[in-house]
Chains A and B, each alone.
Chain A
Amino acid sequence: MPKQIDFPEVISKLKDFYSIRKRLPSFAEIQSLLGYSSKGGVSVLMAHLLKRGVLKRDSKGKFVPSPILEGGIKLLGTVQAGFPSPAEEELVDTLSLDEFLIKNPQASYLVKVSGDSMIDAGIMPDDLVIVERGRQPRHGDIVIAEVDGEWTLKYYEKHGAKVLLRPANKKYPLIEPKAELVVGGVVVANVRKYK
Chain B
Amino acid sequence: MKKRIFFILVFAQCAGSVFAQSEAEFDSIYNRFQIEEVEVTARALNKDIIVPQTLKGEELQRLNALSVADALRYFSGVQLKDYGGVGGIKTINVRSMGSQHTAVYYNGIQLGNAQNGQVDLGRFSLDNMEEIQLFNGQKSDIFQSAREFGAAGNVYLTTRKPYFLPNEKVHVHAQMRCGSFALANPNVGIDVKLTDGLSLTLDAEYVYSDGKYPFRYRRVLPNGEVAYDTTAVRQNGDVNAVRAEIGLHHYYRTTGFWRVHAYNYYSERGVPGAIVNNVWKNGERLWDRNSFVQAQWQDEWFNRWSTRLLVKYANDYTHYQNYDIKLLPSNNEYLQQEAYLSFANKVQIFNWWDMSVAYDYQYNTLKRDEWVSGLTDQRFDRHSHWLSAATAFNVKEYLRLQASVLMTSISNQQSAISVQPKFTPGIFASFRPYPKIDLSLNAFYKQSYRYPTFNDLYYTDLGNANLRPELARQHSVEVAYRFSNDKRQTTNDFGYELSFSASYYYNRVTDKIIAYPKGQQFRWTMLNLGTVKINGVDAKADMSFYLPLRFVLRSRLGYTYQKAIDVTNPNDTYYGHQIPYIPWHSGSVVAELDWTSKRGDHYGFSYSFIYVGERYSQQENIIYNYVQPWYTHDLSIYGEWNVHPCRLKANIEINNLLGQDYEVIQNYPMPKQNVRCTLAVKY
A binds B: no
